[in-house]
Amino acid sequence: MATLAPPASGTPVTPSIGRTNSGGFKTTDGTLYVSKPFRSKSSKKLRALITFAPRKSHFDTTNESSGANEFRGFFSLFWISMFLFTLRTYIVSFENTGSPLNFVFAMMLSRDAFTLAISDALLVLSTGLCVPFAWAISKGWIKYYYFGMVLQHMLQTMILFAAVTWTFNRQWPWVQSGFLTLHSLVMIMKMHSYMTINGYLQYVSTRSQDLLADLERAALSVGGMDAAIAASTAHRVELDAGATTNSEPESDMAPSISVTPASSANVNPTSHYTDASTANALRKRLTAVASDPTIATPIIEIPNPEFSVAGSGTPAEAELHYDDEVIAAQGPAELHPLVNHPDERIAALAREYSEMEAELVSSGPHYVKWPNNITWKNFAVYQVIPTLVYELEYPRTDKIRPLYVFEKTVAFLGTFALLYTVTESFILPLTPTPEQSFF
C-alpha cells in the first residue's frame, strides 16, 4: 500500500513539473494517481487510494518515450561494447586454450547439483505449512495475537536454522551455500508476509463480527433492524436531496469528478487528485449501489459523514466530499444499510463495520474476500510472483504475450552469459587458493 504525505495545513499545493494535466504524478515508471492519505479509526495503517495508468517499461522495444531518450545512443553504445568485449574474450580464450571457455566455473556450479536441487525443493515445499496455519487461524482454532505470532516466528526460525545448518554440514562451495542461504531468507520473508497478513485479517474479521453484534443490539433500542433501516433510508433521501440541490452541473463531454466540497471552506481543493481510472471504479460502485431499492439515488457512502459520492442520476456524474481523515473505502464491499442512520452512534458503528468489511476484500478485479484466499492455488500463485508482500489478489495481464516472454528470456540468457564470462575469465583466475599466503 503506497502512501503520500499530506500537504501542510493551509498551504496551497501547486502542480509540480512532473504532474500531468489529469492531476497525476509523472514518475520514471509512469503516471501515478494518489488520493489524500487517511488513517481509519480501527487501524493504525496509513492508507491511500492508488490508481496506475497503463505503462510500458523503459526497456521495452515498443516504448516510444524510451526511443526519444537523449541518452539512448549511450545505452546502445554500452551494450555494443559489452558484446564486443565478450566476443574478444572468447577469441582470446580460443587462441590460448582451444575453446571459448574452459567451464571451470560451470563445474563448480554443478557440484552436488542434484542434492542442492532436492534441498531447495524441500525448502520451497516447507513454506506450504503456511496454508494449514492460515486455515487454522481462519477457523478460530488459533488466535494470531499472540499465540499464532509466536508459532509463526518459531516456524520461521526452525526453517532458517535447518537451511543454514544443512549448508554448513554439506561443505558446499560459496555459490551453492550462498544460493540456498539467500533463498531460505527469501522464503522466510514470503512466509512472514503471508502469515502476518492472514493473521491480521483474522483480527479484522473477528472485530467486524463484534461490531455487527453491537450494531444489532443498538438497532433494538430504536425499534429493531427493520425500523432502523427505514429511518436510515429516509435520512439518506434527505441528504441526497440536499446534495442534488447544491451540486453544480457537470460537463457532458467526458466523465469528471469534482474534488471541491460544496460546503467546506477548510479543505484545500488542490490537495486531492483523481482521474478517469478512479471514475471507472466509482461508476462500478455506483452501479452496484443503484440496484439497491432502499436507496433512491446512487450514492457511495464512506466511513465518515463528511465524505460521500452522490450521483445526479447517472454513474458518470458524481461529486466527492472530503474531510481530512478518511478517503473512500476500497473494493466493492457492501456497505451496511445503517451508515446513514440519524442516530450518530448507530451510524458510527455501521461505518466502522463497513470499513472493516472493506479491509477483508481485495481491490479487484475478482474481489477476493478473506478467508476465501486461503487455498493451495492462491499460495502457489503467490510463490511464483516476484514479490515479498502478500496480497489477496494481484493484477494480471489479460493473456500471456509470447513475444514479450521471448524477449525477456533472451535478455536473461544474454546477461547471464556476460556475468559468467566475466566471472570465469577475470575473477576465478585471481581467486586465492588455500596454499597461498595472505601477505
Express each pLDDT in 6-65 by its tens digit: 444 444 444 444 566 666 666 655 666 565 555 555 555 555 555 545 566 666 666 667
Exposure on the CB side of residue 38, measured as CA atoms within 13 A? 24
The residues with which 258 forms a beta bridge, in sequence order, are 319
d(CA 119, CA 113): 10
- Residue 150, burial from CB neighbour count under 10 angstroms (0-12, 13-18, 19+): exposed
Same domain, 251 and 380: no
Looking at residue 282, its pLDDT comes to: 53
Of the two residues 344 and 127, the one the predictor is more confident about is 127
Same domain, 215 and 348: yes
Share above pLDDT 70 across residues of the chain, in percent, rounded to a whole number: 63
Residue 310 pLDDT greater than 50, yes or no: no
Number of domain units in the chain: 3
Same domain, 141 and 271: no
Instruction: Answer yes or no: is 58 within a domain.
Output: no
The grid cell for 213 is 453484534
Q: Confidence class of residue 246 from pLDDT cuts 50, 70 and 90?
A: low
Domain boundary residue, one of 338, 356, 372: 338
- Residues 97-107 have pLDDT tens digits of 888 888 888 88
Q: Is 180 left (phi over 0), alpha (psi -120 to 50) or beta?
A: alpha
Looking at residue 150, its pLDDT comes to: 93
Looking at residue 332, its pLDDT comes to: 59
Residues of 315-336 as b/e, b for ≥16 C-beta within 10 angstroms?
A: bbbbbbbbbbebbbbbbbbebb
Instruction: Answer yes or no: is 152 within a domain.
Output: yes
Same domain, 240 and 301: yes
d(CA 97, CA 388): 45
Of the two residues 165 and 396, the one the predictor is more confident about is 165
Looking at residue 109, its pLDDT comes to: 80
Looking at residue 190, its pLDDT comes to: 94
Show the domain range for 267: 224-338
Residue 298 pLDDT greater than 60, yes or no: no
Lowest mean pLDDT, pick from 27-31, 202-206, 432-436: 27-31
